[in-house]
A and B are shown apart, each in its own frame.
Chain A
């Protein structure tokens, strides 16, 4: 069922066999163009430089890790995950604690790693608009996204709770820095969901995947949507009439984690340290418009000013955004998701 991509860097192993003959790690990620970008920018060059043999797989997310850990048959050493689900997996005890004596995070953005998950790339949840409908001057805030008189047209919104409540509160007048304290109760969550109820008749589609966001904009099915910035860049490259703004966007990241009981735990730690170095991270934007999590990647000269200006994690763009709070997701996501589904099924 799972496509197993076996990547053997035999040349690299032969070259450095003296010091890393039997070291190997199995990495699972999401596949598609995302994993391709990771592979080209991070895994393959790091494997060549360290002599660690890298086996790549695709997987279905933390539920796979849960199954492996609970059945005691862990085969994965490193998994790529969304930050929120990694935080919940960590709370469940499914992940190894990262060893920051091995992994150097001194030049990382402090909000882009936890004890259990190391940031790999930064993306934003943004609002995007159809430039045919609204021109270049589309909505500039979440309040605009909610303003169907100023911006008449259909919307698409996320069908799951992650990244769906923060915009609603900002549209309701809550300052970005207060969003998570307001959300820290069922009443606060209900307030956000009520705000979405207000807009619901104008929401034509509740999207469930990144591919769907791009398709909705490309086909002109909706005039405005929320979504992940990289998807809209790809859609625009394909000719979609779409623009987005980083103002009030949610700054989020994907991260690498090590499942509890991973067969090559120590090698995995070393390998995570390797792929976090700026010399690998600065190549990632060449393959996908997601930013590095290591600040130092901006200093190598590989990321031009023009490219940096378009990345979610560039200092200018990051300053406009609300960083997603993993603590909130670990504490509330399950409850909020059930409340969100009530709104969806009404």
Chain B
């Protein structure tokens, strides 16, 4: 009895030490997050309430309500982000499915091709699209010489060009997590489904697809969030007409006497993003719950 009790106390002590150790190991990261994330974001909130005369003021937010351009810029930002995410899913999911079914060696080769653009600068890739898509660019020249169309079509310096560029840049962020989720699925589950009489389509939608959802969600989230802050690609391929929040932040820093004019935009974007994610996560949980009920 006594020995056991001593042992119990020893275990409890060990556990306590273990926790302390974990906390010790984790604290540098937590401190880092505090210093480089929490403090600056707090500062951003604070500065956004400081007016041009240096006192507390709501003018930076009032301006956003007064001028219609701000609402339109936020609308464009979310529109571009949603469309890019949607297109990435449409293109990326089938591709990931295709690659995940290939023999290991070829699949790895395919993944390297997916990853390859990652090693080229974003700016270079964006300008490359400009060269390809412009009026006298390769796409128009080739299409016209092949007789596909007679007049150069406008596929850059507008929303179309912006989306083409952004989908290209964002695609790996979607494909990789989805591919990871697909590889982790035991393919015998599909065989079991067929064995129980499910058609391939039914097996895919009731067994395979739900299992890829966490990967799809992670990938879509990453793409969406990265899109919200995009600057270079819409600035270069949007022709000055696709104005996203990041671009407006830059012009406000140059234009207004106070940093708050730009900070307020960041705050609104942050709040809007968190709100959308909250709604999305609720929606997704529901989805999963109904999926589990089948």
Contacting pair A220 B76 (CB below 8 A):
no
Contacting residue for A345 out of B72, B253, B257, CB 8 A: B72
* Residue A61 CB within 8 A of the other chain: yes
List which B50-74 residues lie within 8 A (CB) of chain A: 63, 67-69, 72-73
**Residue B243 at the A interface, CB < 8 A?**
yes
Contact of B76 with A219 in the complex, beta carbons under 8 Å: no
Q: Is A333 an interface residue (CB 8 A)?
A: yes
> With A204-B154, A219-B135, A221-B136 given, is the CB distance from A344 to B251 under 8 Å?
no
Asked if B84 is at the interface (CB within 8 A of a chain A CB), the reply is no
Q: For this complex, into which size category does the number of interface residues on chain A fall? A: 20 to 34
Number of interface residues of B (CB under 8 A): 25
A107 interfacial by beta-carbon distance below 8 Å: no
> Distance in Å from the Cβ of A112 to the closest Cβ of chain B?
23
Q: State in angstroms the CA–CA spacing of A260 and B72 once bound together.
A: 38
| Cα–Cα, bound, A63→B251 (Å) | 11
In the complex, the answer to whether A345 meets B73 with C-beta atoms within 8 Å is: yes
Asked if A341 and B69 make an inter-chain contact with CB atoms under 8 angstroms apart, the answer reads: yes
Closest to A62 in B: B254
Interface presence of A337 (CB below 8 A): yes
- Which of A160, A206, A338, A345 has the most CB atoms of chain B within a 10 A radius of its CB? A345
The answer for the CA separation of A92 and B52 in the assembled complex, in Å, is: 10
Confirm or deny: B240 has a beta carbon within 8 angstroms of a beta carbon on chain A.
yes
| Chain A 209-221: CB-based contact to B (< 8 A → 1; otherwise 0) | 0000000000111
User: A345 with B243: in contact, given A160-B251, A337-B255 (CB under 8 Å)?
Assistant: yes
Let me know if A204 and B239 touch, CB within 8 A: yes
Is the CB of A238 closer than 8 A to any CB of chain B? no
Residues in A whose Cβ lies below 8 Å from that of B136: 219-221
Which chain A residues lie closer than 8 Å to B73 at the CB level? Answer: 341, 345
Please name all residues of chain B whose beta carbon is closer than 8 Å to the beta carbon of A333 when the two chains form the complex: 255
What CA separation (Å) do A344 and B68 show in the bound complex?
11
Which residues from 33 to 74 on chain A have a C-beta closer than 8 Å to any C-beta of chain B?
61-63, 66
User: Which single residue of chain A is at the shortest CB-CB distance from B257?
Assistant: A92
For the complex, is A208 an interface residue (Cβ under 8 Å from B)? Answer: yes
- Of B69, B72, B240, B243, which contacts A207 at CB under 8 A? B240
Task: Considering the complex, give the chain B residue whose CB is closest to the CB of A200.
Answer: B241
CA distance A346 to B63 in the complex (A): 18
Interface residues of A in 155-185 (CB under 8 A from B): 159-160
Complexed CA–CA distance, A204 and B134 (Å) = 11
Instruction: Decide yes or no: A159 and B255 within 8 Å by CB, A221-B135, A221-B136, A345-B69 being known contacts.
Output: no
Docked Cα-Cα span, A344 to B235, in Å, equals 13
Contact A344/B243 with A208-B235, A220-B135, A338-B67 known, Cβ cut-off 8 Å: yes
**B67 cross-chain contacts in A, Cβ below 8 A:** 338, 341-342
A205 and B240 contacting across the interface, CB-CB below 8 Å:
yes
A334 within 8 A of B: yes
Whether the Cβ atoms of B135 and A338 lie closer than 8 Å is no
Chain A positions within 8 Å of B135 at CB level: 154, 219-221
B76 partner, pick from A207, A208, A345, beta carbons under 8 A: A345
Complex Cα distance, B134 from A154, in Å, reads 13
Report yes or no: A344 in contact with B69, Cβ–Cβ below 8 A: yes
Report if B256 contacts A (CB, 8 A).
yes
Cβ–Cβ < 8 Å partners of A92 in chain B: 257
Bound: A263/B157 CA distance, A: 45
CB distance from B40 to the nearest CB of A (A): 15
Residues of B within 8 A of A85 (CB): 254
Q: Which of A62, A63, A205, A334 contacts B157 (CB 8 A)?
A: A205
Which residues of B are found within 8 Å of A205, using beta-carbon distances? 157, 239-240
- Beta-carbon contacts under 8 Å, B204-262 to A: 235, 239-241, 243, 248, 251, 253-257
Q: Identify which of A63, A159, A337, A346 contacts B253 (C-beta below 8 A).
A: A63
A338 touches B69 (CB 8 A): yes
A345 vs B248: C-alpha distance when bound (angstroms) = 11
Which of B69, B76, B137, B157 contacts A342, CB < 8 Å? B69
Q: Would you list which residues of chain A between 216 and 261 have a CB under 8 Å from chain B?
A: 219-221
Contact B157 A204 (CB under 8 A): yes
Distance, CA A22 to CA B135, complexed state (A): 57
- CB pair B134 A159 closer than 8 Å: no
Distance A210 CA – B10 CA, assembled complex (angstroms): 72
A76–B290 Cα distance when bound, in Å, is 64
- For residue A214, give the distance in angstroms from its CB to the closest CB of chain B: 14
Chain A residues with CB under 8 A of B137: 219
A85 CB, nearest partner CB in chain B, Å: 8
Binary flags per residue of B72-94, CB closer than 8 Å to A gives 1, else 0: 11001000000000000000000
Cβ–Cβ contact A206 & B257, under 8 A: no
Given A204-B157, A219-B134, 13 further pairs, Cβ under 8 A: A61-B254, A66-B257, A85-B254, A204-B239, A205-B239, A206-B241, A207-B240, A221-B136, A333-B255, A338-B63, A341-B73, A342-B69, A344-B241
